[in-house]
Structure 1
Amino acid sequence: MNDYLKNIIQNIPEKPGCYQYYDDKGVIIYVGKAKNLKKRVGQYFTKRHDSPKTRILVSKIRDIKYIIVDTEADTLLLENNLIKEFQPRYNVMLKDDKSYPSIVIRNEYYPRVELTRKILKDKSQYFGPYSNVPSVKTLLEFIHKLFPIRTCSLNLTPEKIAEGKYKVCLEYHIKRCLGPCVGLQATEDYIKNVDSIKEILKGNTNLVSDDIYAKMLELAEQQQFEEANRLKEKYLLIENFKNKSTVVSSIKYNIDVYSYDEDENAAYINYLNVHNGAIIQAYTFEYRKRLDEAKEELLGLGILEVRERFGSKAKEIVVPFYPDMALEGVEFVIPQRGDKKKLLILSTQNVRQYKIDKIKKAESLNPEQRSVRILKEIQKDLNLKELPTHIECFDNSNIQGTNPVSACVVFKMGKPSKKDYRHFNVKTVEGPDDFSTMREVVYRRYKRMMDEETPLPQLIVIDGGKGQLSAACESLKILGIYGKVAIVGIAKRLEEIYYPEDSIPLYLDKNSESLKVLQHLRDEAHRFGITFHRNQRSKSQVKSELDNIKGIGDETKRLLLKEFRSVKRIKLASDEEVEKIVGKHKTALIRKYFEDKNS
């Protein structure tokens, strides 16, 4: 696997969709589906494949593209559409020599509708092929639930039915068949059901549902309510089927769908070709900006490029906004709701994912580029004068006023610089006074930096609301650097960002990278402060009388307590017992300390 494919796989989203593999000539050689695109595509290149066919396929892959969809069910339908359209050479080869299943309507007096893998020249009507057996079975189950047609393999000729050779089976008794084998269902009625099934398989579900709806109303007017209710149940079944997917619409659309996105340097356009309500083509491309071109102009250029390249003749084009162009006989539509709106949303998801992938690929090759981009976003979102390449964040920790400490964490180029972290034992504050603690540690931090002539940060972040921020600002004013260094507070409850002398907070988008960096700063300061505070508490809780003996360090204390378990036992032990552990000199220090204390 070369670096180009590695970059693609690294940035594929963990979403449902279909992927396409291309060979060195740019031809699609395989189409597949996945619940998780990133995981599935990655397996082709990380697993050892027993099948030689799969190994051959992987060796020929030179490019990977994919289409994301809303649901896992949509991946089945989309994969089927793409396979039928492009007929990639490796799809059939990698299915263990099995052909794709199709749905056949048998050429019989009372046609059966069933799954088959063999397409014969027997004048039967075939629909498909379909890429997945479960999806075919689901469709057949829906058809049999909607229309009671036979599932038996009896030779139902008029002569044999007239002879009375057959009897009704269980399917008749559970009302899944109307008994044509014994003449209980007229041939014309049966054929009408089969014709409706053909329309559904062609994607023309609207024709079927409209016909059922009209008959339902007619029966209701004639007060045949039981029969009308039966048709109502069928109508609702079809409507539910139509509304399940954005990949295949119940309406026989033949349209083009475009979406648009952009950044400072490029415009991105996604194109979906919808034929008979099914997406059969998806393509995303970009224009490098040379001047300050308007998005309407760029979208128009993209539409012309697609129509010329792919020979599209669509008379209706769905767009997010009207392009700066006019095409004879073509209507531009900006949908507000319905199937066309869903298709536009799907196209928008794909163009945004393309843009994200492009950024991630570039940043994986140049990590510093990502850092600069995020810092520029922080600078823009917080309205800073300078790019915040050096950010510091403060957090205080104490429990009921005991062992008050404060932590300062440092981020450089948007990433933690742990060697620059600092913690503070609070010296001038007694009790749980968070404001005074913040005032002290901010003053101490920047007084020392100024004395040592160390460069100050471009941004200071205070973990807390207006009170903590005001206390920190007081220290900056005393030091004479207030206004020279940007400072904000971030409150925990709603992630509000506070500015000095401004009571109205700023709320950043919950998904923005600026907020994520600020949250990371705050969380890291809290973690660092809590860890230091716990250590301080632990030290205060394990102090013993041995700490007061000059010349007795932590290691000597540990050895003594390990051996004797308590200070009392050390006092009672003989000199020889203590000397075995710490030697004569330290034994003399210990004895002298206890003798002086008792005298």
Structure 2
Amino acid sequence: MTTDQDRAALQASLHETVKALPHLPGVYRYLDAAGNVLYVGKAIDLRKRVGSYFQKTDHSPRIRLMLNQVVKIETTVVRSEAEALLLENNLIKALAPRYNILFRDDKSYPYLVITGHDYPRLAYYRGALDRKNQYFGPFPNGFAVKESIQLLQKVFRLRTCEDTVFANRSRPCLLFQIKRCSAPCTHEISDEDYRRDVTNAVQFFNGKTNELLEELEARMQALSAEWKFEEAAAVRDRIQALARVQEKQFVSSNTSEQDVDIIACVESPAGLCVNLAMVRGGRHVGDKNLFPSHCDGYEPAQALEAFIGQHYLERSVPPLILCSPEPDNVAMLMETLSAQAGRKVLLNSNPNGPRRVWLEMAAKNAELALAQRALHSATQEGRLAALIEALNLPDTTQRIECFDISHTMGEATVASCVVFDRGDMQPKEYRRYNIEGITAGDDYAAMKQVLERRYGKIAAGEGVAPDLVLIDGGKGQLAQAEAVMAEIGLGDPALVGVAKGETRKAGLEQLIVAITGNTLQLPRDHPGLHLIQQIRDEAHRFAITGHRARRAKARVASSLEDIEGVGPKRRQKLLTRFGGLQGVKAASVDDLMQVDGISRTLAETIYAALRG
């Protein structure tokens, strides 16, 4: 059979599959010859929707390219289009199909939490939510949460310390002295007053600032009438602090909504950008820009539908979402989000008054982010082109990997691998390797081990081979790289050693090219050198961060392991009770005795050993 005959037979088989599909809502998946999922889609009517792909001839280049690879169609029937949307986005997140637009935002969004303790704690939180605590958010980034905590500390003075610290205080900490905490740990504030402060903080984050201000003003007046002028002055200061907080808000409105998300999608030659701004309790808490993958051929309205479906899949949904432009299938999106939230959720793409200003602001931020991305991309492309020319590399060079080794006198050796690809650093592809089984401080052996572990898998067909490998080091480290590549049979990547100059100053790096052994020193202002410095510095940062974490963990364990009578269980109990080694060191003998299994004799031994 000829290739054309094979293709004709495959097309006939696919058409038969389409004819057998039901007229029901569901999700369909296109697979290639290797069984990889190329695309996931949803449909009200599976037969009509899937059949349209094979009946139309005016598809975009992206769709035509995809259809040429399809050899199998799989479907799942569901009860409604809303269920289809949920299943579709679950599959997109799990499978990351090549032809679906994908918003990679793996980190969970942070929350501000007021715990359910007898003396509630104000804290930053990421993770699953439970009913014991009160959560406010989500926030677009950690900075927004930490800024909110600082505001609340100034106004309401709630505790932020860990439980282990709180339980073991005998006198107020520095935060009490600088008027950022009311010190409930040592009962500097009455239980009733602390509970009132917690209630006021909750009111503030629920957007009831005006009611709170009225309550505080009435309280100030009452205290003044009772001649309690110092207490009245403290309430006055709190009112003034709250007023300053209100003045700092970026978004203000006379409307009644408390929680709103503002989403704008903008397109430019640099790609698509979605700007997500969040208003919580009437306060603008920040925004973030997201750049989707696999977005060629998608219109902003389609991208916005995909973003809303993926973003809110496992997150809380505010009662109002402002979006521009209007996403595709807006009615179905509202139905799905309302069912998920357990209350009505509105999507409004044509608001009036202040809400329209919010949307325009989000769109402007997305435009600025795309402009910055285009400028950054142009800069990186120029640097890469200059590096290719300087090192005489193939024009197709795109992917660069760089390795660095970090240790302290041979202790806790960690190797890092960072990746530059598609015109930028790719943090999600970074990897760290704990180095074991070598002579302490042997950088050559460490480099050999990490390269074997990294490229042994790639030679076996797992992962993507780089076009250029940078080795942070001189001829010795580079020789190890050459030996490893020859041993595993991976001859494609170019190898270059990046050796620091005699004075170890930036700009004096020497580039050692493998095979020829030639040494090249680019001018300090050379764009290609700037790219190498950026990648090398990122590898160094990533390695030293991992090394410090590993070293700290090892030292914590070893310092307690050296004490006779402290086994794994007691060590764990001590670290848990006091929140880490520093807490154990700061504990008194009597404090140590409070831990289950620690006698006075053992407590005295631990106390002496940690202060020896």
Q: Could you say whether these structures have the same fold, taking a TM-score greater than 0.5 normalized by the shorter chain as the test?
A: no
Q: Larger relative CO (CA 8 A, sep 6+): 1 or 2?
A: 2
Aligning the two structures, in what range does the TM-score lie when normalised by the shorter sequence? 0.3 to 0.5
For the pair shown, which has the larger CA radius of gyration, 1 or 2? 1
Q: Normalization by structure 2: what TM-score?
A: 0.32
